[in-house]
Each structure stands twice: as C-alpha cells, then as structure tokens.
Amino acid sequence: MNSLTGPGLRLAAFCLAGVLAAVVVGNTLDRPVSGSTSGYSAEFTDIEGLTPGSDVTLAGVRVGRVSDVSFAPQDDGTSRARVAFEIESVHDLTTDVTAEVNYGDMIGVRYVALRLPDDTSGQILPEGSTIPIEQTRPPVDLTALLNGFKPLFEAIDPAQMNTLATSVVDAFQGQGGTLESLLLHVASVSSDIVDQEQVFDDVIANLEQLVAVVDRRSDEVARLITGLNVVGQALGGETDQLANLVDRGSSAVRSTAVLMSGSMAPLDTTVTDLRVMTDAWIPQTDNFNRTMEALPELAHNINRIGDYGGWLNLYMCNFTIKNGDFETNIFGAAYSEVCR
C-alpha cells in the first residue's frame, strides 16, 4: 500500500501543475477587459480572420475585446457580419465613431480599431447600439491588393513574381518562414526594376513628346473629334440606306468574282500572248519607226509613176492593213487622180 502512495502523490501533483498551467495560459490568451464594460456591436461586409477574443482598440490603445461574431442576413437579400464587442465603461463612443478591421501583425491576427473624429459633433452612443455599415470598413482584400500589382508583375520575371506573391500570402496567413525572406524577394524585384530604368525613362520621354504634339494640335484634334461625331450621327441616322448600300456592294462583289472566275482562263491566255508580242516588238521599235516614216514618201512616188503620161500604168488607190477587227489605211487619202 505504501508503495503506491508515492507515485500517486507525484501523479496528482503533476496533474495539478498541468491544470494550473492550462489556467494560466487560458487567462493569458483570453486577455479579459478589466473593470466594468459596455457592450456595442458593428456591422461589416467582411470580417475574415476576426474571431471572439480579438482586441478592440480606441486611438491605438486596447480598450476591449470582441465577444461574438455572427451572420446577419438582411431583408433585401444581402448579408452582413455582426461583431459584438465590449469596451471599458470609462470610454464613451459617439454616433460618428468609425470601426475598421485591421491586421495586428504579419501572421494574420486581426483586431477592431475604433476611431473618433478630432472635431466630433456626434451624440453619445447608447450602450447596446450598433455602428452602421456606412461607418465601418472591412479588412484589406489581399486578392485585390495583389491584382493591383498586375502591370508590375507582367514587366518582371514571372518566377520572381510567383515567389514574391507566395511569400506575401504566406506571411499574411501566418505560414511564412521569416520576414527576411519576403524582404529579400522584394529587394530582388526592386533591383530588376532598377535595371529597366532606361526603358521607363524612354517611355516617359515618348509620352511627353506625344502630349506636346497633341497640345500643339489641340484645335485639329478637336475638329477631328467633331467631324467623327458628325459622321457617326449621319451614319446613325441613315442606317437603312447604309445597310442597303452594304448589301448591294456585297452583291456586286459576288457578281464580279463570278465573272472573273469564268474569264480567268481566257484572260491568262491573252496576257501571255500580249507578253510574247511585246517581247518581239520592243527590240524592233527603231526599225518600225523608220518604216512608218518612209511609207508616205513611198506611196507618193508610186502614185506619181502610175499617173497619166507615165510609162507604167499602175494605180494604187488603197493600201490597207487588217488584223481581225483592226483595220487601217497606211497611205491615208493621197490617192492618184484615177482613183478619185
């Protein structure tokens, strides 16, 4: 019997120490509000990360804690979050007080920050009142925050951006290793931006030139815009005629396409024959010109020889060259007397 007494006492002492330690840890984490308290509530559109026991501050000083977080559906079909909190009774709130959900640290702890205007003119807010949603602000949307850096992310190395974004999210969610890692990635991205400084300078310089040109030609730009407005109004008022014109134009294009498709083979043959003819004609251009210049004199001499009294009764009344539908008289109207 005595052999069990010692171990039993030691086990009891160990359990008692464990219970006391649990009570101490619970009281430390609970952080109750000292003295008498006053209860209020506030409506938010979003309270992500806020839990019962979170701190409530006034002008940056902890004066209370969140007692309850609940879902509050509205008559118009929307929903809101209702946060019940208590603060020390020595602090009075006014009707123009504002409430925000802020980040307490980089590991994701949130708290409710109450603020009173410097020149407050509101009435004392009765205990149990609710701060309306118009006077509250939800926590920062990390998704919107990171999306705001989208243009920067597109200009930097994607691998670095992925690493930076992961570090930011992990840090805010309490999963990051150290803040030093985040700062190292930020420094890496900053150095990359510095390397592209000349590109940014060129873009800004070009924008300055563009703005200067537009400013010098502001009157022309204004007239251009006015003219485009007039054209737009005219087209808008004649939509039926414009549609008919487009329809007729498309019909004409189709007809032309059909005609060209049916005439393509003869057209190719004609073009080929013309090319052969021109290739043979061009080298003989000088000879042809001299022949044409001598033909009228030849015709005149032949006509004189064949006139009455000559020894040769030869009359050339006409000399016509004909090729298909093409016909021409190379001697013109200079016929002999017999032919007249």
Encode pLDDT of 303-320 as tens digits. Answer: 666 555 555 555 566 667
Task: Looking at the structure, tell me whether residues 116 and 103 fall in a common domain.
Answer: yes
Task: Looking at the structure, tell me whether residues 131 and 163 fall in a common domain.
Answer: no
State the total domains in the chain: 3
Distance CA 325, CA 187 (A): 87
Residue where a domain stops, chosen among 139, 169, 190? 139
Task: Looking at the structure, tell me whether residues 70 and 166 fall in a common domain.
Answer: no
Residue with structure tokens 């079909």?
A: 77
CA 109 to chain centre: 35
**Structural domain contains residue 280:** no
Which of these, 170, 179, 110, lies nearest to 140 by C-alpha position? 110
Distance CA 213, CA 205 (A): 13
Q: Residue 143: its pLDDT value, please? A: 63
Question: Which segment of 41-50, 78-87, 106-115, 180-189 scores lowest on mean pLDDT?
Answer: 180-189
pLDDT higher than 60, residue 43: yes
Helices 239-262 and 218-237, packing angle to 10 deg: 80
**Structural domain contains residue 263:** no
pLDDT higher than 60, residue 334: no
Task: Looking at the structure, tell me whether residues 122 and 50 fall in a common domain.
Answer: yes
CA 18 to chain centre: 61
Task: Looking at the structure, tell me whether residues 108 and 179 fall in a common domain.
Answer: no
Q: Residue 21: its pLDDT value, please? A: 78
pLDDT band at residue 332 using 50, 70 and 90 as cut-offs:
low
Task: Looking at the structure, tell me whether residues 124 and 56 fall in a common domain.
Answer: yes
Contact 330, 295 (CB under 8 A): yes
Q: Residue 73: its pLDDT value, please? A: 82
Task: Looking at the structure, tell me whether residues 151 and 174 fall in a common domain.
Answer: yes
DSSP state of 92: P
**Structural domain contains residue 56:** yes
Structure-model confidence comparison of residues 204 and 86, the more confident one: 86
SS3 state of residue 66 = strand
- Classify burial at 307, counting beta carbons within 10 Å of its beta carbon; exposed 0-12, middle 13-18, buried 19 or more: middle
Residue where a domain stops, chosen among 139, 155, 174? 139
**Structural domain contains residue 315:** yes
**Structural domain contains residue 23:** no
**Structural domain contains residue 214:** no
Residue where a domain stops, chosen among 153, 175, 198? 198
**Ranges 48-62, 232-246, 267-281, most confident:** 48-62
Percent with pLDDT over 90 in the chain: 13
Instruction: For the chain, give the mean pLDDT.
Output: 75
pLDDT higher than 70, residue 270: yes
Task: Write down how long the chain is.
Answer: 340
Q: List, edge to edge, every strand of the sheet that includes 130-131.
A: 130-131, 37-44, 79-88, 61-73, 55-58, 110-115, 98-103, 136-137
pLDDT band at residue 40 using 50, 70 and 90 as cut-offs:
very high
- Which alpha helices (DSSP H) does 217-263 contain, by range? 218-237, 239-262
pLDDT band at residue 99 using 50, 70 and 90 as cut-offs:
very high
Task: Looking at the structure, tell me whether residues 126 and 178 fall in a common domain.
Answer: no
Task: Looking at the structure, tell me whether residues 160 and 97 fall in a common domain.
Answer: no
**Structural domain contains residue 158:** yes
Q: Which domain holds residue 101?
A: 31-139
Structure-model confidence comparison of residues 17 and 281, the more confident one: 17
Task: Looking at the structure, tell me whether residues 190 and 158 fall in a common domain.
Answer: yes
Query: What's this model's pTM, rounded to 2 decimal places?
Result: 0.40
Task: Looking at the structure, tell me whether residues 133 and 149 fall in a common domain.
Answer: no
What would the pLDDT profile of 221-257 be if each residue is shown by its tens digit? 778 788 877 777 776 666 677 677 677 777 777 777 7
Structure-model confidence comparison of residues 83 and 266, the more confident one: 83
Residue range 101-128: average pLDDT? 84
Task: Looking at the structure, tell me whether residues 132 and 76 fall in a common domain.
Answer: yes
What would the pLDDT profile of 143-191 be if each residue is shown by its tens digit? 666 666 666 666 666 677 677 667 666 666 555 455 556 666 666 766 6
Residue range 24-36: average pLDDT? 70
**Structural domain contains residue 205:** no
Please give the structure tokens belonging to residue 253.
């294009």
Instruction: Describe the chain by its helix, strand, coil percentages, rounded to 5.
Output: 55, 20, 30
| Pairing label, strands 55-58, 37-44 | unpaired
Distance CA 173, CA 105 (A): 10
pLDDT band at residue 280 using 50, 70 and 90 as cut-offs:
confident
